[in-house]
Amino acid sequence: MASRFDGQLRWLHKVRLYPSCAQERSLISMLRVTRELYNALLQQRRDAWTTRHVSLAGREQYAQLTELREAEPRFEGVYRECEDAVLHRLDLAFAAFFRRLKRGETPGYPRFKVAARWNQLEFPHGDRALKLDVVQRSVRVPGVGSIRLRKGRAVPEFGRAFLVTKNGRWYAIFEAHRLPCALPVTGRSVGIDRGVRVLAALSDGTMIENLRAGSRRRAVVERHQRSLDTATVKDAIGRPLNRKDPARIAAVRRLARAKERAANARLDWLHKVSRTIVLRFDRIVLEALRLRSMTRSAKGTQEEPGARVRAKAGLNRALLDAAFGTLATLIREKAEYAARTVIEVDARYTSQTCAACGCVCKESRKGARFACVRCGHVADADVNAARVILLRAESPPMRAPGTARGGQHDAAWPRSRRWESIGGLTKSVGL
């Protein structure tokens, strides 16, 4: 994950931790204390508003936090900056609530946190709190001691840091800064068409395999789902009654780890694909896909039920398994670090447009094969679409007189979009 910060790129360095049993108990205790603190601060603000119509400011609770640490030993045993980060997290939740309220939306009021949804400790000045040894084989955490970590790439200089637990495992995440490092210029541009049959078809004819990590591991996940269902005692409406049963907890963890392995395999493949693309090309052109609309359910309503719901659900699973959005995000992040250019163009009718003559006709697309009904151009459908995507970034939209949807399509084409990162926020700028 990368973004712009004071002229530098900000990215996260994740390392696996191996705490001992005593250290893990200390970390879990810190999680419990910080969660209780968050809920107590939220309750205090709710009570102040409902009883006295007074809005408590963060600085007032900050002063009270100092008094609480003096009165309660268990709060004093947690590193102070972790508790300050809890207060800051609550301030951000209320800021988001009022911001959406001001826009006329109906946001949900900040909610109390349950243990299952509180899984990280934040150190705002992590370089002062977390100390790595010389060979970077352990990290010293205040109140916990030295925790062994997995030796891999060297941890760079960092600022903010987090300790995160996921599926019974612990990780340290360091927020590091680095300057962009331009790669050698290749003078090549590429258009990329993302799909389910192949993950990415490049305009030069390269076809990148779709790993289908979720589909390959679906049988394993379903087996763990059945084991969890067997270990669960349910009431009349299907709610579990034995949430704290050790057998059920173990089944939940096995299912979560099976899904995590699929997600890790998918992310690893996307990192490799995006890195290969950025190394080969100076300018990368993508479709501006509306993934939320593409993966919307087809169930409809009771008054207007949808059609082919099961087929659309299967397509949605395949689209989400391919992770188009993650691939585009990784390409943008790596391109920004390598001083490459990423452009997004309109995605409409790219699969029906001929890359040779510009004719737009749905009859030209026949499954995985594209055969233009006007000029006879024949190519792989995805490669043809990738070439059309590249052409839309290099030249104005093509139109052949008398072709289907020609004039209407040209009028609807927006300008291409160049992705830039300004002030830590990625936004598109018209070309």
Cα-based angle 12, 14, 17 (whole degrees, multiple of 5):
150
Provide mean pLDDT across the span 207-213: 93
Determine whether 290 is exposed, middle or buried from the number of CB atoms within 10 Å of its CB (0-12, 13-18, 19+).
exposed
Bridge partner residues of 429 (DSSP):
418
Bridge partner residues of 189 (DSSP):
283
Ranges assigned E (strand) in 239-359: 283-287, 341-345
CA distance 164 to 430: 39
In the prediction, which pLDDT does 396 show? 54
Ranges assigned E (strand) in 204-356: 207-208, 283-287, 341-345
Is the pLDDT higher at 230 or at 421?
A: 230
CA distance 224 to 204: 42
pLDDT in tens, 114-166: 998 999 999 999 889 999 999 999 999 999 999 999 988 888 889 999 999 99
Ranges assigned E (strand) in 19-144: 120-123, 131-132, 138-141
Provide mean pLDDT across the span 271-289: 94
Residues 159, 127 contacting (CB under 8 angstroms): yes
Residue found by looking up tokens 């049959």 in the block: 197
Bridge partner residues of 286 (DSSP):
344
Average pLDDT, the chain: 86
Domain ranges (residues) in the chain? 2-178, 189-337, 347-413
